Amino acid sequence: MSASYEVRGAVAVITLNNPPVNGLGLATRVAVAAGIEQAVADASVKAIVITGAGKAFSGGADIREFGSPKAIQEPNLLSLIRLCENTPKPVVAAIHTVCMGGGLELALGCHYRVVSPGAQIALPEVKLGLVPGAGGTQRLPRVLGVETALNMIVKGDPVKSEILAALPGQKLFDRVVEGDLLAGACAFALEVADVRPLPLVRNLKAAHPQGDAYFAFARNTVRAVAKHFPAPEKCVDCVEAATKKGIEEGLLFERSIGAGTMGGGISMNFLNAGIPVTVLETQQQALDRGVATIRKNYEAQVKKGKLKPEKYEERMALLTTTLDYEDLKGCDLIIEAVFEEIGVKQAVFERLDAVAKPGAILASNTSTLDVDKIASFTKRPQDVVGMHFFSPANVMKLLEVVRGRATAHDVLATVMKVAKTIKKTAVVSGVCDGFIGNRMIEQYSRQAGFLLEEGCTPAQVDKAVEKFGFAMGPFRMGDLAGNDIGWAIRKRRYVEKPHMRYSKTADLLCEKGRYGQKTGAGWYDYAPGKRDAIPSAEVVKMIEDHRSALGITPRKISDEEIVHRLVYSLVNEAAKILEEGIANKASDVDMVYLTGYGFPLWRGGPLCYADTQGLFNVVQAMKRFARNPHDDADFWQPAPLLAKLAAEGKTFS
C-alpha cells in the first residue's frame, strides 16, 4: 500500500506508506492525488491532513525510480504540489521525524504545516550535486526568509523543527504539536476548516533588504567553499530568482537549472505569386474600395523598400475586376469570400455552379459554415472545398483546407499544391462547425466573456494573454476581425444550440454598433486612422451594469487563471477534434494556432503547451473551473481523449 485514506470525523487523513522513508514514487503520488480528489468530492469532509506512516513524513523522491520514466510520469511531484495548492478545502501537512527534499517541497505546497518536535527538516539535494527541483528554492525563502533558506539549501544539512519554529517571523510551521501529532493535526484542521482564502506559500514575498549585495557576497562565499561543485552556486541563483521573479517564473528558472477586406487580401496572395486574378463584386463602389485597399497595401510596401515599383505595377497588371458572374467562366479556381451567412453562400454557389467551367474548383472561405451543405447547393459537390484564409489574408500564413464528404482527392491535392504556391501553411480539416481553429476559438471567446462577467475588464484579459505571449488578446482580436461576425455566429447558435451559454456582453456591445476598428469603436475606442486600442469607459460601464443585473459580485482574477481558462478551453476542444478525426494529429492543431491565431511560437501550440504543463495538471485545473458557479461546468468535463491520456500519464505528442 503506497498511501491510505480514512475519514476521522470531518477530516480526511491521507497517510503516505512507502517504506522505509515514504519516498514519493509514482504509486504514492497517484494514491495521494486520488485521496485528495476523494476528499474534495465528499461533502462531509471539511479539511484534509497528509502525514506519513512509520518513522518519516517523507524523505523525498523514491531513489528506486531515479532515471526511470516513473520519476516524471504524471502526476509528478510538481503536479501533486499544484494539486494541493489548488484544493478548495484546507490541506494540512502533519510533519514528523523526517521531512526532506521532495517531502519538504510537498509540505510547502500544503495550505498549513504542523510539526512534532525533533523532526529533521532539509533540502539535501545539493549533496548529490543537484538543485531542488519541485519548488524548494522558491517556496522555502518565502516562509523562512532568504538567508535562513539559502543557508539550508546550499549546505543541505537537516535542521531540527523546533529550531526553525523558534525563528522570529517564520511561516514554515503553523503549530508545533506536543504528543499525538495526528490528533493535534486533525484538531488544527478543524480550527481552520472555514478560513478563507486558503493561505498559499506561493503568494508570500521573498525579499532581502540588501538584495544584490547579499547575493554577490553569497556567491563569493560559495565559490570559495565549493569551487569545483556547481550546484551550490546554482542554488544561489535560484534563491535570488525567488526574490526577483514571480513564482511561476522562479519555478521555471529552478527547473531550467535542475533539469471586404478579406477578398482583397486573398487576391494579393495570388498576385504575389504571379497568378492572374479576377475580382467579382456586386457593386462598383465595393469593387473600387477593394482595389484601393490592394493598392494601398502594395504602396506601403514600396514606401518601406520591401517591394520594387516595377513589381508593384506587374502585380496590379494581373488584376481584373468585374460585376458580372459570366466573366468567371474561364477560371480554374473560384474562391468565395462573402458574408458568413448560409443564405448568402447558397445564392453565390448556385450562380457559380451555373457559370463555372467543368472541373473548376469552387472554394468557400467560410470560417464556420458546413462545407457539405455549401457543396449541396451545386451539381458538382466533388469540386467543392473549403479554403479558409485568416485575416489579414495577405499576411497570415495559415490556410485551413476543409475536405467535404464528397471532395475529390485530386481537388484536395490541387488545393494543397496551390497553398504551397502562394506560400501558405495548409492544414487539412474535416467538416464540423468552425473546423479546427474557429471551433476552438469559440470556447476561448466564451471563457473571455465569462471572465468579464466575473470581474475582469477587456484590457485586463488582453494584457494577461499578451504577457503569456499571444500576439493579441481576445478582445483586441475581436475588434480587428469585426465583432459583428461573432454576433452573427451567436445568433445562429441561439437557435441551433440553445443549451450553449454565452456572456451577453458581446451582444450588448454589438447592439451599440461597436463592431471594432472598422467602426472606430469596439471593446476599445479607436482614434481616426489609428489602430491603437484605447480602453473605453463606456464599455467598462456597460460590463459593470450587466454584471450588476446578473447579481454577480466582481472578484479579483489572477493572470494565471485568465490564461489557463482561455488556453485550456482550446486544449479541451482540441482533444474532441482529434477524437472525432476532424484533425489528423496534434501537431496539425498546434500549427493552426501557431500560424493563424498568434499563439506564442516558443510554447509550441496549445496541445504542446498542455503536454509541457502535464495533462494531469490540465485536468485538475479543469475540475477547478467546473466548480465555478459562473462558468460552464459541462464544458469543463475533460474530453475522453484528454482524460484517458492524463490517466495513463501520456501526452498528446
Domain ranges for the chain: 3-257, 276-429, 437-550, 559-647
- Show the DSSP H helices in 95-145 as ranges: 102-109, 136-144
Q: Could you tell me which residues are beta bridge partners of residue 384?
A: 362
CATH class of 276-429: alpha beta
Can 437-550 and 559-647 be said to share one CATH topology? Answer: yes
pLDDT tens sequence across 57-71: 999 987 676 545 677
Contact status, residue 159 vs residue 152, Cβ threshold 8 Å: yes
Q: For the residues 221-237, what does the mean pLDDT come to?
A: 79
Percentage of the chain beyond pLDDT 90 is 75
Specify whether 105 is catalytic.
yes
Among 174-178, 256-260, 261-265, which stretch is predicted with the lowest mean pLDDT? Answer: 256-260
Q: What is the pLDDT of residue 224?
A: 78
Q: For the residues 349-372, what does the mean pLDDT come to?
A: 94
CA quadruple 48, 50, 54, 55: dihedral sign: negative
Query: Which of the following is catalytic: 85, 105, 442, 453?
Result: 105
pLDDT tens sequence across 552-591: 999 999 999 999 999 999 999 999 999 999 999 999 999 9
**b vs e for 355-387, b when ≥16 Cβ sit within 10 Å of the residue's Cβ?**
bbeeebbbbbbbbbbbbbebbbbbebbbbbbbb
Among 77-81, 517-521, 646-650, which stretch is predicted with the lowest mean pLDDT? Answer: 517-521
pLDDT at 261 over 80: no
pLDDT tens sequence across 393-415: 888 899 999 999 999 999 999 99
CATH class of 559-647: mainly alpha
**Rg (the chain; Cα; Å):** 29
Q: What is the pLDDT of residue 227?
A: 59
Q: Could you tell me which residues are beta bridge partners of residue 401?
A: 387, 428
Contact status, residue 113 vs residue 650, Cβ threshold 8 Å: no
CATH architecture of 437-550: Orthogonal Bundle (1.10)
Contact status, residue 193 vs residue 10, Cβ threshold 8 Å: yes
Query: Which of the following is catalytic: 37, 65, 85, 125?
Result: 125
pLDDT tens sequence across 167-180: 999 999 999 999 99
d(CA 463, CA 454): 17
The dotted CATH code for 3-257 is 3.90.226.10
d(CA 336, CA 342): 12
Q: For the residues 41-47, what does the mean pLDDT come to?
A: 97
Supply the pTM of this predicted model: 0.66
Specify whether 249 is catalytic.
no
